[in-house]
Structure formats: C-alpha cells, structure tokens
Amino acid sequence: MAYVALYRLWRPQDFDNLFGQEHIRTTLKNAISAGKIAHAYLFAGPRGTGKTTTAKILAKALNCAEGPTPTPCNRCLSCERITAGSSMDVFEIDAASNRGIDEIRDLREAVKFAPVEGRYKVYIIDEVHMLTTEAFNALLKTLEEPPSHIVFILATTEPHKIPATIHSRCQRYDFRRIPVQEIERRLTEVAASINLDIAPEAMRLIASHADGGLRDALSILDQCTALGEAKITGAMVQNLLGLVGHEWVWRLTDAVADKDAPAVLQALDELVALGKDVRQVLLELALHFRSLMLHKAAPDMTNLELYSEDREILAAQSARFSHDELVQIIQAFQSAANEAKWAPEPRITAEMALLSAARGVIRNSDIAGLSARVAALEAALARPSQPQPAHTPPQAVVRPAAKEAPVRMEPVKAEAAGPGPVKAAATAQPIADPCQVWEVVLKDLLAGGKRSVHACVSQGQLTELGAGHATVQFGSAFAKERSEKEDYRQMIESALGQIAGQPVRLICTLGTPARPKEKPAPATAKGPEEHHPALDQAIMMFGGKVIKEEKNGED
C-alpha cells in the first residue's frame, strides 16, 4: 500500500476531532441540530488551520445516512465516499486553476440537477479569491438564490479580496491560528502513535515554526521520521529547518549590547559558512529582541509565546537595553529582512543592519531622545537671553549691512496684547543692524512676487535680530496677527533665515514701531488724496495705477 503522509492520515473526520477551532465546531454543530443549514458558507483563515477539512466534515454531516447530524457516522456509504474523495454529490473545485467565467457557467448549469446519492450537492471552492471579476459576477445570482439541494462552501486565505456582494450572501467563519501549546499536544499524540521518540525541545521548535498551522507541523514531524535516528533532538530539527539556534542569537545579542562590531561580523561570517540563510538570521534576531521587549515590559507573564523560554537569559539581556532601543532595533531587523528577500546580495543588508545596531547608530536616532532635545532647545529659546560675558567671542555676521559696527536697537515698550508670542528681552545682542536687515527682507519679498506678504509686514519694524530669533514690532493688531499665521510666518522666517544663515524664529509684538525717516515725496500740483496711505497699500498689494475720474462740467 502507498505511504500516506501524516497530515492526511491524521485529518479529522468529525467535528469532535476538529483541532483548535472550538468556536466553529460548536456553531456548526448547533446549526445542524437546529436545522438552520445555510446555502453558502465562507471559511477564511491562514493555511493549515482546517478550512477544507471542516468543509468535508460539514458535507458528511449533511449527507450521512443518519443525518443531517452533527456527528456523522463515518461508516455509511456516503461518509466513506466523501472521505475517499469519490462522492458524486461533493465537488472540490480549485479556483486557482478554474478561475474563469466558462467554468462558473458550467457550474451554474450543473447545480440545477438533483443529488445522485445524498440529500445535498456540496460545492467546495478552494482559494475562491482567485476567481476573476467576471466569474464572481456569474456566480452571484446562483449564490444568492441556489436550489434547495445546493450548499456552497467557499474557502480562502485572503478574504479581503472577496467582493462585498459575495461576502454579504455567505455566513462567514474565521479560522484562527492554532496556539503553540495545542500544536505540541497534538504532535505528542501523533508521535506516540507512530512510536517516534522526540525531545520536548524539538517538539517546541516544530510547533513554533509551523506558525499556527497544524498541517505544516505534521509535515515537519513527518520529515523528522525520515532522519532514521533513535531520538529526534532539538539540534536535529534546527538543522532540518535551517534555523540559526538560540546560542548564536544570544551571542549576536551580547555583541550588539557590547557595541562590539568585530564580534558581530565574526559571528555572521561563521553562520554564513555554516550555510545559514542571512534573512533567517535577521528574522530570528527580531523575534529574540521582541522577546526581550515583552519580558522587559511584563516579566511576570508566563503565557506569552517567546522565542526563548530561558528567563535568566531574557532578564540579563533585556536589562542592557531600554524599551526605545529594543523597538528601534526590532524595526531595523524587520526592515532589513524584507530588503534581504529581494536584494541581489542579502549578506550586505544583514551586515549593515547588524553594524548599525552594534555601533549605536539606530539608538542615536531614537525619536524619543530627539524629541527631548528639541523640547530642551525650544525651552532655551523661550527663556530671556542673558548678556554675554566680556570674554565671549561675538557671533559672526553672515551678511553685514555695512562696514560700521552693528547697531544695538533700544527696545520699544510694547502694549499688553493678551497671551501671545514670547517677547525678546532688552539685553539680547543683535547679529546685525535690524533696520538694514529689515529693508533687505522687504526687498526680497517684493522681488519674489509676495506683494500681499510685503504689504502686511511692511507695517512692522525689525527691532531685534538675535541668535535664532527675530522680533518684529507692529503698530497694527491686524498686521501682527496676520504675520503670525503659519503661511506668512514661514515666508518671513525663510527670508530672515537666508540673511542670518541659520534658522530664525519670528516673534511678533504690538507697539509703535520706530521707523526710519523717509524722504518726503516731491510736491505736485495734484491733490493729497492721491497719496493716501490706504491707497498706497492697495497699489502695493494688487498693482495697477491711479486713473483720475473725469467729471462732466469741470475744467
């Protein structure tokens, strides 16, 4: 007789043996007992969690000679044929290879005929998300109002790809990943039945590597039986699966904590020489650092699935990193693992990630630390500036306005205007002559086509230009408030920053700005109304020229 794989040999044949999906088992058994059999079901979940198996059990429960029953006998002709896959009333369709509209049209014609042997014709469509849009549309009407003797069971690993119109016509059941402890328990039963001596450590490795899929775990266990050894150890399973191993991961973690770049490179080189996949190295490192993060956050929790169960190692190594460092390193290793999947030389990607972690580059870019530094700088800028000692060298002027020494502006007493920007202290040392700098700023705004900004800020005067800040005093509350808006503020700070050669923070105050004396305009024969300040501002903001209105009856 041909050899039968373990996952096929140990496939559940009734609801009571359905492993790890108690919520689905209970619901389906109750529905069958109550006679509430739906015409369409959608089974969604990861691979190897029992979707197709549950579909076959449901088909047997509906067509059993004693049924419909929640406990199929598995002895009648119908049950035996469904188990063997030879029933003429149960059809398994692979949507990956039968995804077109023609196949669905054939299915629509076939559903019209009554069952041959049992009560129901059951259509199990596996990987249903692979159907084309046209095929889904062709299936829609049949799925909505099928004949009374038809039951559709749609199985998929990607339910988000199912159209909403199909979704709404099915009862959806979500299959969960099976916990590691339950997979271990099942593997122990199977190993005992086939007289396989396997170490608990090896069992835990198989269950963890299966990623919640019992079928994958049974396939790995089946592969272990071919090793021909008297006892299967953890080291054998590691070699079989190509795993790195805890000792190597702990060694790399200690090297990262010690910031020992040569030790990191040496360990990686030895792993490559042993034939280990560098992407697997990065993934296992990410899993171990996740274990360190969880242990650091909740050291007393024992039900968490960790990469390593050695609490002494977890406590010792997690103490060498902060929480933020662990988060940054995990993100770096996961990103590197994704890049290594497609990189032409994945070893380079692994070396960059490990060296960055070992030299602290990742940790120096810690967002929390950077935020703290920014907050400290903002607090320092908000405090009144202190007079510089006599021995402190003066700050360099990036763009000197003239050859004479910078002029210190006397502070102008500002009116109280409620809560607003922090006012500069009178003792601040300016970088250059504020009047001349302000003239350059206004010219730059006008030359850049920012007429509206120029018209607004020209109503103010730069009273102080210090290290990292500039104080502009306005005589109009409207001009002050408009200049403090984000759009105008960015343009003014950009213009000031180009002159100062460093970022400048704008501080707006309300008062009576001391303006430089302007040359009087030459007198003309025309009326003074043509030189009204409001008219001049409007012309500056919008352009154009003044056209005198000619009135009838006047010379």
234 neighbors 215 (Cβ within 8 angstroms): no
pLDDT digits (tens, 9 = 90+) for 234-289: 888 888 888 888 888 899 999 999 999 999 999 999 999 888 889 999 999 999 99
Summary mean pLDDT of the chain = 80
Statement to judge: residues 29 and 127 lie in one domain: yes
pLDDT of 45 above 50 = yes
Structural domain boundaries enclosing 475: 409-516+528-547
pTM over 0.85: no
CATH number for 303: 1.20.272.10
pLDDT digits (tens, 9 = 90+) for 145-178: 888 899 999 999 999 999 999 999 999 999 999 9
pLDDT digits (tens, 9 = 90+) for 390-442: 444 444 444 444 444 444 444 444 443 444 444 333 333 444 577 878 888 88
Is the omega angle on the peptide bond into residue 68 within 30 degrees of 0, that is, cis?
A: yes
Position 451 in a domain:
yes
Position 168 in a domain:
yes
Instruction: Among 241, 265, 294, give the residue marking a domain's end.
Output: 241
Position 416 in a domain:
yes
Statement to judge: residues 479 and 347 lie in one domain: no
pLDDT of 30 above 70 = yes
DSSP state of 300: T
Q: Which amino acid is at 222?
A: D
CATH number for 419: 3.30.300.180
Residue 474 pairs in a beta bridge with 460, 510
Provide the pLDDT confidence category of residue 368 given band limits of 50, 70 and 90: low
Mean pLDDT across the stretch 70-79?
A: 91
Angle CA 33–87–125, to nearest 5 = 75
Task: Characterize 291-323 residue by residue with b for buried, 16 or more Cβ atoms within 10 angstroms of its Cβ, and e for exposed.
Answer: bbbbbbeeeeeeeeebbbeeeebbeebbeebee
Mean pLDDT across the stretch 78-96?
A: 90
Statement to judge: residues 142 and 195 lie in one domain: no
Position 360 in a domain:
yes
Q: What is the pLDDT of residue 422?
A: 40
Q: What is the pLDDT of residue 364?
A: 45
Statement to judge: residues 499 and 453 lie in one domain: yes
Q: What share of the chain is helix, strand, coil (3-state, %, to 5)?
A: 50, 10, 40
Question: What is the number of H-type helices and E-type strands within the chain?
Answer: 24, 8
Statement to judge: residues 160 and 305 lie in one domain: no
Statement to judge: residues 302 and 231 lie in one domain: no
Statement to judge: residues 170 and 227 lie in one domain: no
Statement to judge: residues 10 and 125 lie in one domain: yes
Residues whose CB falls within 8 Å of the CB of residue 136, separated by 6 or more in sequence, listed in order: 163, 165, 166
Statement to judge: residues 257 and 288 lie in one domain: yes
Position 379 in a domain:
no
CATH number for 45: 3.40.50.300
Q: What is the pLDDT of residue 500?
A: 74
Mean pLDDT across the stretch 492-507?
A: 81
Q: Which amino acid is at 18?
A: L
